[in-house]
Amino acid sequence: MNDSPGWATPGSSPSDGERPGAPADQSGAGTTQPPVPPAQPAGDQKWSAQQPPPGQWSSPGTEAPRPTGQNAPHAPQGQGWGSYGQQYGQQPGGEPGAPYAGQYGPSGQYGHPGGPGQWGKPPAAKPGVIPLRPLGLGEILDGAVSTLRAHWRPVLSISLVIAAVFQLALVLVQRATVDTAAFSPGERATPSEALDAMGDAMLFYVFNYYVEILGLFLVTALLAPVVSSAVLGHSSTLSSTLRALRPMWGRMLGLTLVLFVGSVTAGVLPMLPGILAGEAALIALGVPVGLVLLAWFYVVFLLAPPALMLERGSVSDALKRSAKLVKGSWWRVCGISLLTGLITKVTAAIIVMPFAITAMFLVPGGMQGFLDGSATQSWNFLVIGAIGSIIAAAVTMPMQTGVTTLLYIDQRIRREALDLELARAAGVENYGATTAQPASGPVTGG
């Protein structure tokens, strides 16, 4: 990237030529050789036909023939080795020929640096909140929480302001809709009144859901520079974060608007025929289709906000980058995002609970008011609940948006060897400079 330290400009994968970080002179002198298996005779630098290379990532099934000669670490651009391509670092589901970042590791052994069972080799460099290698679920969650702890001032300041603005909008909409959603004790609602109440309640919950999506997209874009600094081990302040955001405000708001309109269209469009015809059956049929389309749209373009802020491209470039990075990893990205959302929902409920209990004693009518629905019309209830929701959102949104940004970094490490660029930006000396060498002979990239 041009003006954001630590990020490579989007473009060709390292498999297009020499691996980033490899020295210009690759004559093979001083290179680190992979360990010789115990059954291998001394002096023979080739693997036997029966002994697979250590640290392999092969999937169950029939192995493709192993390469001979120089044990080239990756296939030529656009060519794959089947299951054997995974053994030498090609990420499953990735583009053909795309290398697995750090495939030889700091000690020149196969597998990513610091992976489990890697013959006792040293762990990957970790200048900040994550190790510079492909990440596991626990490392992504831990990195998001560590970012919140280490940079809590800019993180909480930004998330608190966004949460307060959106919660104010929710309170106003809730106050406007609760009048038709509550009935006096003993009052029997007519079918039309009950239908109106259900419609208003559904409208509020749909509005609440889409406001939450809009807030997540916006906070993800705002906090992406903070997560970037945390990954590199750099300090981050509110003023420095705002300076980094200043030139991107227009594009950031434009991307947020595009994502919001797209998510609304994906969720509502399948129900539109039923809404226009006034047929409840058609609306019910469109609901599951809308949910599927919304989930697909959300996951495919989930990485667009960090792509925009860290690559400093256009809105369309960010959308294309997100779709490209998610391609082949949709279920993984969806699963991690869904699990993170579940964790944040439970955490938010725990935070809001004391405020809800307090509201029970301060609203008119007490517990009886909650039973007949009149308490929801009280400003005391709305204000106390809003305070609890603001605090909960200020704590949980940074975690979810941090996971999203780290997923973006993880996908680029897996697809584009971004770990080498991050290591150089973090000041890690000689990271990857002598590790991208084969067992004998230079790496030619083809």
Residues 240-270 have pLDDT tens digits of: 999 989 999 999 999 999 999 999 999 989 9
pLDDT score at 13:
39
Average pLDDT across the chain, whole number? 73
Poorest-pLDDT segment among 18-27, 209-218, 246-255 = 18-27
pLDDT score at 433:
55
Written as six digits, the tokens of 318 are 């960010």
Q: What is the mean pLDDT of residues 419-431?
A: 85
How many helices (H) and strands (E) in the chain? 14, 0
Residues 304-355 have pLDDT tens digits of: 999 999 999 999 999 999 999 999 999 999 999 999 999 999 999 999 999 9
**3 state SS for 198-242:** HHHHHHHHHHHHHHHHHHHHHHHHHHHHHHHHHHHCCCCCHHHHH
Residue type for 370, please?
Answer: F
Residue type for 218, please?
Answer: L
- Pair 2, 11: CB distance under 8 Å: no
pLDDT score at 277:
83
Does residue 68 register a pLDDT over 60?
no
Residues 108-136 have pLDDT tens digits of: 334 444 444 444 455 788 999 999 999 99
Which residue blocks in 301-378 are alpha helix, DSSP H? 304-311, 315-326, 330-362, 366-372
> pLDDT class for 359, splitting at 50, 70, 90?
confident
Please give the C-alpha separations between residue 338 and each of 14, 105, 332, in angstroms, as whole numbers: 31, 31, 10
Does residue 17 register a pLDDT over 80?
no
Does residue 81 register a pLDDT over 50?
no
Give the residue, 381 or 218, on which the prediction is more confident.
Answer: 218
Residues 279-292 have pLDDT tens digits of: 878 888 888 999 99
Does residue 152 register a pLDDT over 90?
yes
Does residue 189 register a pLDDT over 60?
no
Task: Tell me which DSSP letter residue 129 carries.
Answer: S
Give the residue, 98 or 136, on which the prediction is more confident.
Answer: 136
Mapped onto helix, strand or coil, the DSSP state of residue 304 is helix
CA dist 124 and 41 (Å) reads: 30
pLDDT score at 438:
38
Does residue 64 register a pLDDT over 60?
no
pLDDT score at 403:
96
Residue type for 234, please?
Answer: H
Whole-number percent of the chain with pLDDT over 90? 42
pLDDT score at 18:
40
CA dist 62 and 430 (Å) reads: 38
Residues comprising the chain, all counted: 446
Q: What is the mean pLDDT of residues 150-171?
A: 92
Name the one residue in this structure whose structure tokens are 């690759």: 26
Whole-number percent of the chain with pLDDT over 70? 61
pLDDT score at 203:
76
Count how many Cα atoms sit within 13 Å of the Cα of residue 15 in the half-sphere of its side chain.
Answer: 28
User: What pTM does this model have?
Assistant: 0.68
Give the residue, 175 or 288, on which the prediction is more confident.
Answer: 288
> pLDDT class for 367, splitting at 50, 70, 90?
low
